Chains A and B, each alone.
Chain A
Amino acid sequence: MSQIADPDIAGKGGSLTLRLALAFALIFALGGVAVAVAAFSYGRQAAQQSFDRLLVGAADQIARSITLQDGAVSVDLPVGAFELLSLAPNDRVIYAVYGPDGGLITGYEGLEAFPEGRRFHDATFAGEPIRAIRVTRPFAEQSYAGTVVVVVGHTLRARAEMAAQITRNAVIAAGLVALVMAGLAVLAVRAALAPVNRVGTALHGRSPQNLTPLDVAVPREISSLVQALNRFMGRLDRQVGIMRNLIADASHQLRTPIAALRVQAELAEEENDPEALRRIVQRIHARAVNLSHLTDQLLNHALIIHRADSVPLARVDLRQVVIDAIEHVDHAVLDGRTPAMLDLPEDPVWCDGDALSLIEATKNLAGNALRHGVDPVRVSVAQEGDRARILVRDAGPGIPRDYWDEAGTRFARSSGVSAKSAGLGLAIVQSVAAAHHGRLEFRTGTPSGFEAAIVLPLAENGAR
């Protein structure tokens, strides 16, 4: 059934069909045993009842044939009684008629004594088990009074045969039913496994580059499998995307500054004037700082996105995130300006997230505000309904409203691509917010100022 071509994987978990077959076989075997046992028990009971009736009939006929002649019991043994008994064709027959004194009137001598009060009795006769019946016929004549006892029995071959036949027939019938059911089960299993095959075929037929979610109609039971598969492919797609972006960004962003560095370095090589040389070295230094900043951002962006996708989320207090972020804001950014002010609630604000990514995002927002905004810059944490916000506010005009939509994308014009910045800051924030099922929001303050916020869902059971 499997279309997986890799022999290492194929069949490692055993065949689903084989498992189902074994399960069905076990069910059928148990059912078969149950049917056989039930049929045998029923067959024995049925045989017992049927042939006991023969005994009753025969004994009654013999009892009716008993007459009194001259004060003595006379038995005119009826042929019909024996014809009845010979309906069990291969069974030996015993019979005896006893007088009130227990003396044998006619029939077999030396039969086993019949237990008192029993109608049917299992005994043995000439080495073979028999079943016998006792029927009494009371006489109350002037010449003769007392009870005449008739005992009739036969061996058990016909009973055993009938029981065996009933059992056999039942088992054969059950076997046929089982066969039909097995056939239907095979069809059912095939039908049930068809969606799995469809998924396999769909995967098999894809180009290696195609990492879009599978769009195959599948039943509920395996939709989780397909969902997991789609999630997995989504992650793979993002990872590939990160890599692709990193490579693209690196080639796009690093080529120019490195070329400039080289040019400066070549200039320095040919410069003899120490003053000019010093200026060139200063420029090379400034360029190198920018380049390192750019490289940091590129790598950070890739790392953060990668982390957001792959690091398990933990419970974090956003206040701690903000404190850590502000502590680590690049001091070069401050450049003698007023540091950001913190405005934190007294209670912890819990979110499920990756602290490192969130700190990086907050750092970027704060850094942007400090770099491009107007003092004072305030960083605060707030709770609104089931959402938490990390707010960075400054008094400047902020990003023009027209660029809000594209502000979060890489190298957006609005985010100010410059020699000093790759314009990746807001893209990182945006990625982190998205990875935490949140978003990046902009708001113009009242009456003035600009507000950028990371809006995140609160942890499930809120503050803890």
Chain B
Amino acid sequence: MMAGWRMLLPLISCLAAPALAQPVPEATQDYGRSDAPFAILVRSTTDIALFGPVLDGFVAANPDIRVDYEQWGSNDLYAVSLAECRSGAETADLLISSAVDHQVKLVNDGCARSHSSPLTEALPAEANWRDELFGITQEPAVMVYNSDLVPAQEAPRTRFDLIDLLRPEGSRYEGKVATYDIEESGLGYLFAFVDAQQATTFGSLIEAFARSRAVSTCCSAEIIDGVASGQYVLAYNVLGSYALDRAEQADNLVVVAPQDYTLVLSRGAMIPRNAPNPVSAGLLLDFLVSDQGRRAMAAEHLYGDATAVAPDSLGQNEAVLRPIPLSPVLLVGLDRQKRAHFLALWRDTFARPQRGATTPSE
């Protein structure tokens, strides 16, 4: 089913401003029979490698529907979706983004179409906003470290542990801790912004990052690969789904769900108002929140029982797992002044890292 796989050459870099270049998908892939009577266009920020098997499951259950899948960077996806919503142009049938604040904004701007089924009605309140935006995954924001480089007794379990590790002058973590570049990654910004709301540790944490000259760079896959290869010793706030996927191959990669609290991301899926095939899109949406779809996503670590990555948190209070709710509160982070303030704070902290022409993703 992976026939037709083609990876687009990196046409745009993380440095390119989305507003200047015409945004295009990073990769595309078709699933299902090419002569199927229905075809839907899905635009998503999820890597094809992770989401492909889930869509294979869907087209196997719905042979009448072909799924044209486009993998996008989160900021580009938001920009193109908002532009299409405002112009009323025909757009994708289903939008799935890890930058749920973008999705909330799109819904708030009236760009979504309502969808309701017994499956979506069974979703908890934080995973269903207005019957227009649905949380389809459960992915913890985790720390990963290279066990070759971090002695077992130093392995951080919480943010406080991490802050303590970074505090000493000239520690081995100096310049070796990576986290998202929140200007480039919508998801990175979202994690950082939600972190800032959760606890006072955030202030100490970015201070510690600043002191240890932490690296902010782009994209989950690159950061995790960097940790596995030893380029970085530790990475903070990377997506658990990618980390666990990578850890299956790399023995030295250890995934830690912080035990003070663990953010849990639920990718937001919505049917755009101008979607040409909303009914088929609704079928895919229902599949994604069904038991079958969840099993398929769980196999790719997209739908994880967060306690699986943080077994020590079992028996602790529920507040350890903090789902990022689909709610208008996320609009605050997108406010241009708020964003400017937040980015200014971030920029003051991080030295701009060297970056190559990488494939921007999450």
Contact = CB atoms under 8 A, between A and B. Distances in A.
Interface string B94-123: 000000000000011110000000000000
Given A106-B336, A107-B335, A89 B329 contact: no
Interface in B185-212: 197
B130 A90 contact: yes
A92 B337 contact: no
Contacts of A126: 109-110
Interface in A82-117: 82-83, 85-86, 89-94, 105-107
Interface string B314-330: 00000000000001110
B332 A77 contact: yes
B338 A77 contact: yes
B298 interface: no
Contact of A92 (B125, B130, B335, B336): B130
A106 B337 contact: yes
Contact of B110 (A74, A77, A83, A128): A128
B6 interface: no
A125 interface: yes
Contact of A76 (B131, B327, B337): B337
A75 interface: yes
A115 to B, nearest CB: 23
Interface residues of B, number: 19
Given A77-B337, A106-B336, A92 B327 contact: no
A148 to B, nearest CB: 13
A385 interface: no
Contacts of A81: 332
B172 to A, nearest CB: 36
A413 B332 CA distance: 123
Interface string A59-84: 00000000000000011111101110
A127 interface: yes
B299 interface: no
B328 A92 contact: yes
A92 B327 CA distance: 9
A76 B196 CA distance: 14
Given A76-B341, A79-B329, A83-B329, A89 B125 contact: yes
B180 interface: no
A82 B327 CA distance: 9
Interface string B334-351: 011110010000000000
B79 interface: no
B221 interface: no
B327 A86 contact: yes
Contact of B331 (A78, A90, A93, A125): A93
A105 B338 CA distance: 11
A93 B337 contact: no
Contacts of A157: 130
A106 B332 CA distance: 11
A76 B337 CA distance: 7
B110 A76 contact: no
Nearest to B196: A79
Contacts of A107: 335
A86 B329 contact: yes
Q: A-side binding surface: helix, strand, loop or mixed?
A: mixed
Contact of B329 (A82, A90, A94, A106): A82
Contacts of A106: 335-338
Contacts of B110: 92, 125-128
Nearest to B337: A106
Contacts of B108: 92-94
B129 interface: yes
A89 to B, nearest CB: 7
A86 B337 contact: no
Contacts of A92: 107-108, 110, 130, 328
A91 B328 CA distance: 8
Contacts of B335: 75, 77, 106-107
A124 B131 CA distance: 20
A190 B104 CA distance: 63
A82 B328 contact: yes
Contacts of B129: 89-90
B332 A79 contact: yes
A294 to B, nearest CB: 103
A81 B110 CA distance: 21
A89 B338 contact: no
B286 to A, nearest CB: 20
Chain A CB within 10 A, most for which of B327, B332, B338: B332
Contacts of A127: 110
A76 B129 CA distance: 25
Chain B CB within 10 A, most for which of A81, A83, A92, A107: A92
A430 to B, nearest CB: 94
B331 to A, nearest CB: 6
Contacts of B331: 82, 93
Given A76-B338, A128-B110, A82 B125 contact: no
B329 A74 contact: no
Nearest to A90: B130
B328 A74 contact: no
A89 B328 CA distance: 8
Nearest to B131: A90
A79 B197 CA distance: 8
Contacts of A89: 125, 129, 327
A77 B197 CA distance: 12
Contacts of B329: 79, 82-83, 86
Contacts of B328: 82, 85-86, 91-93
Contacts of B327: 82, 86, 89
Interface string B144-156: 0000000000000
Contacts of B338: 75-77, 106
A74 B340 CA distance: 10
Nearest to B334: A77
Contacts of B109: 126
A363 to B, nearest CB: 101
Nearest to B107: A92
Given A74-B337, A89-B327, A94-B108, 17 more contacts: A76-B337, A76-B341, A77-B332, A77-B335, A79-B329, A82-B331, A85-B328, A92-B107, A92-B108, A92-B110, A93-B328, A105-B337, A106-B335, A106-B338, A126-B110, A127-B110, A157-B130
19 contacts: A74-B341, A76-B337, A76-B341, A77-B335, A77-B338, A81-B332, A82-B327, A82-B328, A85-B328, A86-B327, A89-B129, A91-B130, A92-B107, A92-B108, A92-B328, A93-B108, A106-B335, A126-B109, A127-B110
Interface of A: 74-79, 81-83, 85-86, 89-94, 105-107, 125-128, 157
Sorted nearest first, the 6 A-B pairs with minimum C-beta distance are A126-B110, A93-B328, A106-B337, A82-B329, A77-B335, A77-B338
